Each structure stands twice: as structure tokens, then as C-alpha cells.
Chains A and B, each alone.
Chain A
Amino acid sequence: MKYYFLALGTLVVVCVGCAVDGQQVIDKGEYHAPPAAMMQRPGPMVDLPYPAIMQPLAPQPAEFIPRTSQVRFVGPAGMMLGWQIPVGFAENQMMAPGRYNFKQGATYRLKATNVPGREGLVLYPTLQVYPAHPTTDAYLTHNSIPLQITDEDLDQIETNNFVTKVIYLPEAKFQELAIAGVETLVSTRLDPGVDPVSEADRRGTIMAVMRIGNMDLEMPGQQEEMIQAVSHEYKFNGDNGKFIDPMPIGPAGPASGMPNGFVMGGPGGPGMPPQNMIAGVGGAEAWGMPRSGTPIGLQGPPHLPYGGPASLKSHTIYNNTRYDVGQPVDHFVTRVKHDPGIRMPHPVKDVEYTEKHPVHGPNDLSVPAWYGGGPAGPGGYGPPQGAYCPPGYPQGPPQGYPQGQ
């Protein structure tokens, strides 16, 4: 019999010993909050969107504003650049080397003329400016994107080849140098069949793509096919001091057939660049708001795979979390006692008051020393001692903080 109990005990220890570590048995009186990520954004129906029972605790992303990338045309030096506008091409808008701020998330059609050593050569490259990504935001805020058309590129173009140049910021974890620098991939230097855009995307984050061929977009008598025809035309030429911003040709603007290689929000109107949507900012749906279809036939997050027929019959989630949050109370009593009790002078019922006024002569008045002469009041540099306090903030620094010097 005793061997039976010994075997039973051993079996229990073997089966339960690893699963029970004592925390389930011993109540240490500890409290456990949800993970930090869950505290920051508890999710739909708890924080925003409405109905919300609490505000999101994490700070909101930067304000939604149109962003630009500064493209620096390094060379060839002396090359003139223009770009497509709603009524044709604006000529000679800048000279290389030079810089221009292009709105992000749009494709532009440029016009390169006066290429040194290539008389009569006119190129119409497209420039695809990618939206800022968290990995490239700091770089694009502080740096320009270098873009250079080399002699080798020009040779390739003149021999009827199509050149794609991709400028990207390499992934930091694969870098060893402390300084962030960009790299350029050129289609003509890659093995046949290798897509430079995919390759650059694999190595880092793309900031701009330039595609150049030798197609002439302004052949006499055939402009209607290339560019949207208009009833009247203005000439914009930088040589005459007339400058105009470039018009995005893709995905907004005239049909250009240019690939739209980035996920962007739709344009606000004709000729407007698309928007770099951030969840919850600038009218974009907040995180967690389902809009698109999913394989189960219901609306769901857009990252679920597309394209398949509805196949899922059941989707069950069991929550095995132990909950001890108590029951709601129906009566709540608070007893407060001051110890020692409150004892104050009894109300005054008889006051005798005499007021004596000072007598000043001419030029005897002055302002208090602490006033300092500046404009007082909220938002001003008034008291105390010049410390700035914005409107609505309690006047004067909090106790313990140093005052203005």
C-alpha cells in the first residue's frame, strides 16, 4: 500500500510540479498592471475612437503637414533643369548643381537640357519622391538627397537603354560606420533581371527613384499625345525670370503610366500631391478602425491577406487570464477625522477700524522693485523676475524651481 502512495505522490509531483511554481498558491499581495504597450493604446472602444473611456496615453505623432524632400542635383555641372507644369514644361528652372524641395509621395517629370558635352540632348526623366519613413525622417529633415547623372548613365541613355537610379538609406543594423550616408543603385550596374527598386528596398529605405530614357516628349505636332492639351499656353522660362513649382504627374495629374511605388493617401485635388497618411492624424482613420475586407468576409485590419474566398468558419479566442478586480460596491462610506481636531478663533463680531492715508508730494510715486518694468500678466515677461509663464499657467514658478536669473 505504501508503495502505491509513493508512486502516486511521485506521479503528482512529476505532473504538477513544473506547472505549479508556488505563485498560484501563495498570495504575495502584489498588483500587476497590463503591459506598457497595452497601457499606451488599450485599443478601440477603450481609448479613442469613440466611445472612449480614456485618452490614449502615448503622445500623438507630429502634426500632419505637407512634407518635402530636398533633392540636390549634383551634376553634371551646368545642366539646366525644368519640369512639367499644367501647361507644358517650365524651362530652365534651375541649374545643376542645385537643390529643390519636392513634395513627398509624388512623381514629377523633369526636363534636362544643356547637358555639358552632349549637344542637343534633351532628357525627360521622371523623379519619384518617396514619403518619409520613420527610418528616413531624421535624415530627410536634416539632409538633401544627392542625385547625379553620370557620363556612364548618359552613354547608356543615348544607346537606347533605360536607366533607373534608386537612392536609399541603408538599414542601420547592417552598417558599421557611425555616420548615416545614402547609397545609389543603378539598374545598369546590376545583374540582368535584378530590379533596382526591389533590391534597394531590401537593403534599406528608398527616398527617391529617377528613371531616364531617351523618349522625346515634345515632338513637333504630337504634343497632344504626350501632354494634356490646353486652349492657351503660358511660357515659363527661368532665363526670363519666370519660375513655377513642378506639378506632380503621378498618381495625380494627367495619365502618365508611371508606376506608383508607394502606399499613399489619395490626392486632395487635381494637381495636388498625395498624402502621407498617419493613423489618427489629419483625418486618417485611427489605429484599430477596420475598413477593408478579410478572408472571413467581415471588415478587418488591412494587413490580413487579400484575394482568397471566405473560408474561415470559426475563430475562437480563450482568455485564461486570472482576474481579481473585485465586485462593484453599492454603498461607499468615508469617515474622516482630523487629529487633533480643528480649533480656531471664534468669529469676530466687533471691529473698530481706522484708515490713515499716506500723503505724497509731486514725483514721490514709484513702482515695486519686483515688477521690473516688463509687461505683466499672462503671456508676458512680468513677475516674478522675468520668468516666462504661458497664459493659463499659475503665475510664478512652482515652489522649488529656480527663478529667472
Chain B
Amino acid sequence: MRAIACLLILSGTILSSNADRLLAQDRFPDQRYYHPLNHHHMPPGQAGMWAGALGRADLCYFQPVQIRLPASGQVTFLQSQTQPAPVAASPAQAGFMVGPLYRIKLSNIEGYPGLELYPTLELMDRLHPPAHLRQTYPIPVDLTEEDIEKAAQDQLVTKIIYIEQPDIALPQTEEDRIREEELPKNRNLLEEADLRGRPVLILRIGGRIPSPHELNDPRIMPPLPLEFVTE
């Protein structure tokens, strides 16, 4: 009888220790169900499509995005061929939908005569400001001179803009331009952005000049409108 009692206690100890170990959850993003998209192996538009599939897209909401060049320049917001492409001087602001891949054209960039760049941007998420402050607080997209020089040399620059997580945010006053961090190429930018906060936008810029045929590419020119508010 003493042996049976001993057996029960021992088994109980094993059961409780296993249960404790199983209940302990790994910290994000080390948990085993975390599989972020990898921007190295991801065609443009994939993150937006997944965001749309996750229900983040709202067909009645345009997220304002502000494109800021290092100096003066022109920003053309390309959209479907049936709609005229609005043109604005930098900093230029327009509203985009979460999901589709948009393409813009940068031209007349000060210090780069004749250079035209066609970056793409896709929104994975949106901001939630009070309704009357929607246009006051757009997502800022800052392009530096270094970005433009690298794109002109046919190098691909990928930028991911995220909303920082308050408890791990850098305790530093934000200046005119948002803080930028350059990471080694072997790191997955989407995973790094996930670590630091909530990624909302991917911008890719290179030196390719799209042909008229490409500008009709439904992946590049979605038949979706953008919101352009004139001053």
C-alpha cells in the first residue's frame, strides 16, 4: 500500500511539471506559430494581398501617405489609364487603399536632372486617427539622397515603415524626418519591423523605367482609385 502511494505522488509530480512546461509560452516572435513573410522571397504585392485576405483592407478608407523627397521634385500618382494621374510637388500627399500595389513616378528631382524613378508602394495596414485629423497625420515616406543615388545606379532599395511599439520605442525626440535604420541584407525586414512595431507600408525603389506595356500591368496599375486632395 505504501508502494502504491509512492507511485501516485511520483506520477503527479511528472504530470504537473510537464503541464507547467507546456503552459509556458515563448515570447513573440519566437513562438512556433510565427511565420512572417520574407521580403527576400516575396513578389511585390504579396504582403498587401495577405493584408487584404486578413481583412485589413477597407474599400471606403483611403490611408493618406506623404512622399517627401530630399529637395524639391515632382510626384505623379499613377493609377488606371482611364483616370488622369495627379501630379504634386514634394512633399506630396495622396490616399491609398490597403492591399493593392501602387506605383508612383518621381521626376524633376533637384540635383538629378532628367532622372525619373518609378517606386512602388503597398500598404499592409492603416492608421486610426480621429476622423478630422486623417489628412494631418499621414504615413510619411522619406526618400534620402542616398536612396535616390542607389536607385539611379540600379540598386534595389526596400524600405518598410512601421508604427513603433510604445514600450520599446527609442526615447528620442522625432525630428523632421522619421528615424531610419539600415539593416544588413541577410535580415528579413518584415520580421525586424514586426519586432519593433506594426509594419504598415513597403516601398521599393530601383532604376527601371517601365514601358507603356508595363504601366498597363494590372499588378502595377490596379483599377482602384486613390484619393487626391488639392489644397
Binding site for B on A (CB under 8 A): 2, 5-6, 9, 12-13, 17, 20-23, 25-26, 36, 57-59, 61-63, 65, 68, 70, 72, 99, 101, 132, 134-135, 137-144, 146, 172-182, 387-390, 393, 396-398, 401-405
Contact = CB atoms under 8 A, between A and B. Distances in A.
A143 B156 contact: yes
15 contacts: A9-B4, A21-B15, A26-B19, A36-B35, A59-B46, A59-B52, A62-B45, A68-B214, A137-B44, A138-B43, A141-B220, A387-B60, A388-B225, A396-B60, A402-B61
B43 A174 contact: no
A143 B206 contact: yes
A323 B154 CA distance: 55
Contacts of A135: 40-41
A143 B155 contact: yes
Nearest to B18: A21
Contacts of A393: 59-60
A344 B206 CA distance: 67
A70 B208 contact: yes
Contacts of B154: 72, 143-144, 146, 182
Contact of B6 (A9, A63, A176): A9
Nearest to A61: B43
Nearest to B129: A402
B176 interface: no
Interface of B: 2-4, 6-7, 10-11, 14-16, 18-19, 22, 33, 35, 39-46, 49-50, 52-53, 58-62, 118-120, 130-132, 134-135, 150-151, 154-158, 182-186, 204-209, 211, 213-214, 217-220, 225, 227, 229
Given A142-B208, A172-B186, A178-B182, 9 more contacts: A2-B3, A13-B11, A138-B42, A138-B44, A146-B154, A175-B185, A178-B183, A179-B155, A405-B135
Contacts of A140: 208
A22 B61 contact: no
In the A-B complex, the 8 residue pairs with the smallest Cβ-Cβ separation, listed nearest first, are A142-B206, A402-B131, A143-B206, A22-B15, A21-B18, A137-B43, A175-B185, A9-B7
Contacts of B217: 65
Contacts of B158: 138, 180
Contacts of A176: 184-186
A17 B12 CA distance: 10
A65 B62 CA distance: 28
B94 to A, nearest CB: 13
Contacts of B40: 135, 172-173
Contacts of B220: 141
Contacts of B204: 138, 141-142
Contacts of B119: 142
A388 B62 CA distance: 9
A178 B185 contact: yes
Nearest to A132: B43
B60 A389 contact: yes
Contacts of B131: 402-403
A5 B58 CA distance: 68
A141 B218 contact: no
B184 A178 contact: yes
B97 to A, nearest CB: 9
A57 B134 contact: no
Given A68-B213, A388-B225, A17 B11 contact: yes
A196 B138 CA distance: 48
